[in-house]
Structure 1
Amino acid sequence: MLCDATYINVWYSNVPHPKLVEYKKDQRWVVKSDDYFIFPGGGTQFKNGVNFYIESIEKTLPVIEWGKKTRVILDVGCGVASFGGALLDRNVITMSFAPKDEHEAQIQFALERGIPATLSVIGTQRLTFPDNSFDMIHCARCRVHWDGDGGKPLMELNRILRPGGYFIWSATPVYKDDEKHQNVWKSMVALSESICWSIVAKTYASDMHIGLVVFQKPISSSCYQNRKENSPPLCDLSSRPNNHSWYVPLDSCLVPIVGDSNKWPSLWPERLSDKPQSLSSEPDAEETFKGDTTHWSALVSEVYIGGLDINWSSVRNVIDMNAGYGGFGAALINLPLWVMNVVPVHEPDTLSVIFDRGLIGTYHDWCESFNTYPRTFDLLHSSFLLGNLTKRCDIIEVAAEMDRIARPGGYLLVQDSMEIIAKMKPILKSLHWSVNVHQDQFLVGKKGFWRPDK
Structure 2
Amino acid sequence: MYLIEVDRVPRPGGYWILSGPPIRWKQYYKGWQRTEEDLKQEQDEIEDLASRLCWKKVVEEGDLAIWQKPINHAECIKDRNIHRNPPICDNNDPDSAWYKKMDTCITPLPEVNSPTDSAGRGGALEKWPQRATSVPPRIRTGSVPGITPKIFQDDTKLWEDRANNYKKLIPPLAKGRFCNIMDMNVVPTGIGKDALGIIYERGFIGTYQDWCQAFSTYPRTYDLIHADSVLSIYQDR
- Normalised to the residue count of structure 1, the TM-score between the two structures is 0.44
How far off its partner does 1:267 sit? 2.3
* Match 1:267 to one of 127, 132, 140: 127
Any conservation in 1 of the 2:95–2:197 contact (CA below 8 Å)?
A: no
Per-residue CA deviation, residues 199-231 of structure 1 (Å, 9 max, x unaligned), is 011112xxxxxx211100001112221221321
Report which structure shows greater RCO (CA 8 Å, sep ≥6): 2
Q: Is the 8 A contact 1:345 1:365 kept in 2?
A: yes
Displacement of 1:284: 6.0
Residue 186, structure 1, aligned to residue 44, structure 2: yes
Secondary structure of the residue aligned to 1:364 is coil
Structure 2 residue 16 is the aligned partner of structure 1 residue 167: yes
Residue 67 of structure 2 corresponds to 215
Q: Deviations over 1:38-67 (max 9, x none)?
A: xxxxxxxxxxxxxxxxxxxxxxxxxxxxxx
Q: CA RMSD in A?
A: 2.2
In structure 2, which of residues 141, 149, 153 is the aligned counterpart of residue 286 of structure 1?
149
Structure 1 runs (4+) deviating above 6 angstroms are none
Q: Deviations over 1:235-280 (max 9, x none)?
A: 122xx46885111111211111115526342222232222212226
Number of aligned pairs? 212
1 CA distance for matches of 2:47 and 2:93?
30
Deviation at 1:380, TM superposition (A): 1.4
Give the whole-Å Cα distance in 2 for the aligned partners of 1:203 and 1:229: 27
Structure 1 unpaired stretches of 5+: 1-151, 205-210, 324-342, 393-454
Q: CA deviation at 1:316?
A: 3.1
Question: What is residue 231 of structure 2 aligned with on the other side?
Answer: 386
Letter in 2 for 1:278: R
Which structure shows the bigger proportion of residues in strand conformation? 1
C-alpha distance in 2, partners of 1:283/1:362?
Answer: 21
Q: Assess, with a 3 A threshold, how the Cα gap between structure 1 residues 360 and 309 changes in structure 2: closer, same or farther.
A: closer
Q: Secondary structure at the match of 1:383?
A: coil
Q: Are the structure 2 counterparts of residues 356 and 284 from structure 1 closer, same or farther at C-alpha, using a change threshold of 3 Å? A: closer
Counterpart secondary structure, 1:361: coil
Structure 2: gaps spanning 5 or more residues: 27-35, 112-118
Change (3 A) 1:244 1:305: farther
Question: Percent same amino acid among aligned pairs?
Answer: 33
**Against the structure 1 CA distance between its residues 309 and 274, is the aligned structure 2 distance closer, same or farther, given a 3 Å change threshold?**
closer
1:353-399 per-position Cα deviation (integer Å, ceiling 9, x unaligned): 1111111111111010000133322221111121121211xxxxxxx
